[in-house]
């Protein structure tokens, strides 16, 4: 069985957590709720969403790498790697990461 690399964005939320935290910090720093501009969405609900994605213990993120039994059973990245017989996306000839590095 092949596995994807440990740089997965869902591993402990390392790909999303810092960005969600930074976005919330910026939204609050610039008082987006007080700009007087119609945002087109519920700002308080948006902040709740950022709180959810900012929490690395929310159940969305993997706590261990795939090789150690972690990973979501329906992770499309892992399923794709297993289907193609590669360990990491970069090994795949059709990977966007591979094609951009060779150009």
Q: Give per-residue pLDDT as tens, 28-85.
A: 999 888 876 787 888 899 999 999 999 988 888 887 777 677 777 777 777 787 788 8
Any idea where the domains of the chain sit in the sequence? 1-10+66-103, 17-60
Contact present, 3 and 81 (Cβ < 8 Å): yes
Q: Has residue 92 got a pLDDT over 50?
A: yes
- The Cα-based distances of 74 to 42, 50, 84 in angstroms read 31, 24, 16
- CA within 13 Å, CB half, 92: 20
Confidence of residue 19 (pLDDT cuts 50, 70, 90): very high
């Amino acid at each position: 069985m092949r596995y994807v690399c440990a740089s997965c964005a869902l591993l402990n939320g390392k790909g999303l957590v810092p960005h969600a935290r930074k976005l919330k910090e910026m939204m609050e720093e610039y008082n987006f709720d007080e700009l007087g501009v119609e945002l087109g969405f519920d700002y308080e609900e948006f902040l709740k969403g950022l709180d959810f994605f900012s929490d690395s213990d929310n159940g969305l993120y993997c706590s261990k790498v795939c090789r150690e039994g972690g990973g979501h059973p329906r992770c499309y990245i892992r399923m794709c790697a297993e289907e193609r017989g590669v360990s990491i996306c970069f090994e795949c000839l059709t990977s966007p990461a591979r094609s951009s590095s060779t150009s």
